[in-house]
Chain A
């Protein structure tokens, strides 16, 4: 008995005379799917109102000088001057460095601690539910409340941590967490990691639960040790969720405002000033809406770039399934 190959039975070589389906242009495609668009029209309307218009207005304002002694309607057109001023300003360079230190360390530490907690919680043990709930507490606490509490815990004169360190004889004076230009950023990052690691933990725990148990057992039977099972079986399976978690953490940290603003206001001497707090200070502390808008547009472009990778990471599976 001879088995016909799929190529001979299913696929036929395309002949020159075959009729191709007519390719529709974008308008025709929209018209074809007009009913679908009708259903999403209200959402698009809301999006245009609350996202597109502010984006447009921010870009528009970024070309104007808006000094504090002028009303906004009297703004002066300055072309790309605001962009040049942002790019060349020393305070922006300082804030940029701080932002990357803040973002990369916060993301790295929150992810590592979150992943470690997820690995621990992925095993059955007594009190697992309670521990999981407890570890989630920082994530569900309001960021504003947390920032105020940590501000007092880290207070340079009468903070709890400083008092304990003096009482135990570890330091002579309370540790200066928030009023020292060298220590303020690590202190803020510690608070941010405390607030964010449960998010990474939940995401990674969800990812770990998709790793097939049989595969891990099979690897064990084949003689793989715990590290090899983790590295060769678990990690490849959670690669997708890792990417999404890291990207979300990166975007969240780049957009951070609450913790640094409430705890230090960007100080002392700008040592904890990051992009968003800096933009806020320029816009509302110094009333330079044009300059702050140019700064925001630059940040928007960077965020869009990251958003592109995020969407790609999210839809990669879909692309494969659609060939």
Chain B
């Protein structure tokens, strides 16, 4: 009996390139998958046949890496310098474990490079881009920034970033998802290194499902089902069914609405298509209008989602969920850790309710639509600003040291502990990945959404399209300021003007 390729990987340590070659060579197994899943996978590079939950479990903990040795090859230990670093780290809404790991990260970096003086700034995810734009114009940018996957190309297009890729810190491009590498590539040049990549999943409260007469163990299979489930929960229990998020200029909104738009066959541009050109506007096609109509039905017709969805970020869904007042929401695996934290802090009757919610928490795949099942291929990337834009000038070795450290297999895994996946694919083979899989509930579900991931358009206008135009379209519909068709056409016009500006 011949050994499978997986057996081969597990039987001996592999070099990085060998590992990736095995990963890429799994096309045969993909034959049984749908053409849409394969098409989606072609954009992210996540081979759906290979990257199954079982495969991820099978490779976890099979290799060890020496972080210090890898970093010191790039920048020696005794290097003396200074570093300014901006990132969106843990917030008050984050679980304690993220705060602990953030501290451990900085302590470990200090131990690794005791002579590099670090000024790190932890910024709010929703405010970071605006602040960074202003600081870059004012020549007060940080040396290194960890940016949401969507945003880097805007700064690259303006010529504000240095050419800087995995090779700059001793890694290979093959160690990262091709989709992630595309997000740091502008006009054929590389401007960053992926730190982490993830997809979200659908979370539901099984007790509320049961109370609404739904199967508590099965999530809605389609977006139409989700609308119906949301209404059933509202009608039968009086609680809100689905945690819609529709705030303008908040990153949470596109991460929750675009999967719906793509599932129906719509999009902002043609980013969900097999070979996106980013030249066709999909936001007002029939499929996009159907997706918008579904949101309208939940918010206006059924009133089955929070009224405050227009001003909420995802953080505002957490409290109603732990209080047993919200049926479903789209979130990271970290949401489970958040709920555990909140349940621990609750007292009296609240504690009883919170413990029940945690026990009834379920994770499943995000529903599919007429065209596909889709989720945002998210994550973040590390970038280096041009020396003349950095406050006090750029210390390129200090920048290399932090990026080598943060994007290596160890810390790209640890820093993605409860909310993401390591950007460096070798991280999947570490003992820390194994520990994550063993200790973090539902991680396998969110990870198994990876093959359905669709990256945001890699154009400098993406931030405005996703954070301003699309949420505005949604708000125009939900407030009944415009009809579905008018809102979609207005958004299409705005996108067209934006894309034709230059």
Contact = CB atoms under 8 A, between A and B. Distances in A.
| Same assembly | yes
A68 B464 contact: yes
B170 to A, nearest CB: 30
Given A72-B137, A268-B478, A285 B130 contact: yes
B497 to A, nearest CB: 11
A174 B133 CA distance: 39
Contacts of A71: 158-160
Interface string B445-479: 00000000000000111011001100010011011
Given A68-B464, A265-B247, A174 B307 contact: yes
Contacts of A207: none
B134 interface: yes
A264 B249 contact: no
A176 interface: yes
B320 interface: yes
B347 interface: no
Interface string A262-274: 0011111111000
Given A285-B249, A287-B133, A265 B158 contact: no
A181 B137 CA distance: 35
A157 B476 contact: no
Interface in A190-239: none
A81 to B, nearest CB: 12
A157 B310 contact: no
Interface string B290-328: 000000000000010011111100000001100000000
Interface string B462-501: 0110011000100110110100000000000000000001
Interface string B30-50: 000000000000000000000
B480 to A, nearest CB: 8
Contacts of A174: 307
A176 B308 CA distance: 8
Nearest to B153: A69
Nearest to A65: B501
B501 A67 contact: yes
B130 A284 contact: yes
B495 to A, nearest CB: 13
Contacts of A157: 240, 306-308, 320
B81 to A, nearest CB: 27
B502 A70 contact: yes
Nearest to B462: A68
B472 A68 contact: no
Contacts of B137: 72, 289
A36 B475 CA distance: 58
B307 A69 contact: no
Given A70-B502, A285-B249, A287-B464, A267 B311 contact: yes
B248 interface: yes
A81 B45 CA distance: 44
B479 A69 contact: no
A155 interface: yes
Contacts of A268: 310-311, 475, 478-479
Interface residues of A, number: 33
Given A71-B159, A174-B307, A265 B249 contact: yes
Nearest to B463: A68
A281 interface: yes
Interface in B85-114: none
B154 interface: yes
Contacts of B53: none
Nearest to B138: A72
A82 interface: no
Interface string A153-191: 001111000000000000001101011110000000000
B307 A156 contact: yes
B56 interface: no
A179 B300 CA distance: 12
Contacts of B74: none
A151 B316 CA distance: 12
B340 interface: no
Contacts of B303: 173
Nearest to A175: B307
B307 A181 contact: no
Contacts of B467: 285
Nearest to A285: B249
B157 interface: yes
A267 B248 contact: yes
Interface residues of B, number: 37
A316 interface: no
Nearest to B481: A269
Contact of B158 (A69, A267, A270): A69
A281 B130 CA distance: 10
A158 B323 CA distance: 12
A286 B502 contact: no
Interface in A65-87: 65, 67-72
A180 B310 CA distance: 9
Contact of B308 (A178, A181, A271): A178
Given A69-B461, A70-B502, A269-B475, A155 B308 contact: yes
Scoring B159, B248, B467 by chain A CB atoms within 10 A of each residue's CB, the highest score goes to B248
Interface in A277-305: 281, 284-287, 289
Nearest to B312: A157
A67 B437 CA distance: 45
Contact of A67 (B311, B475, B476, B502): B502
A267 B472 CA distance: 9
A67 B133 CA distance: 13
B248 A265 contact: yes
Contacts of A271: 479, 481
B464 A286 contact: yes
Contacts of B307: 156-157, 173-174, 176, 179
Given A267-B475, A268-B479, A284-B133, A156 B468 contact: no
Contacts of B249: 265, 281, 285
Contacts of A179: 307-311, 479
A264 B310 CA distance: 9
B192 to A, nearest CB: 17
A247 to B, nearest CB: 32
Nearest to B309: A179
A157 B476 CA distance: 20
Nearest to A90: B490
B310 A68 contact: no
Contacts of A287: 133, 154, 464
Contacts of B463: 68
Contacts of B134: 284
A68 B153 CA distance: 11
Contacts of B160: 71
A243 to B, nearest CB: 38
Question: Which of A180, A268, A269 has the most CB atoms of chain B within a 10 A radius of its CB?
Answer: A269
A180 B320 CA distance: 21
Contacts of B319: 158
Given A69-B501, A70-B157, A285-B468, 8 more contacts: A65-B501, A173-B307, A179-B307, A179-B479, A265-B311, A284-B134, A285-B464, A289-B137
16 contacts: A68-B460, A69-B154, A69-B461, A71-B158, A71-B160, A156-B307, A158-B320, A173-B307, A181-B481, A265-B247, A267-B310, A267-B475, A269-B475, A271-B481, A285-B467, A289-B137
8 shortest A-B CB distances, which residue pairs? A69-B460, A156-B307, A268-B310, A156-B308, A269-B475, A71-B158, A269-B479, A179-B310
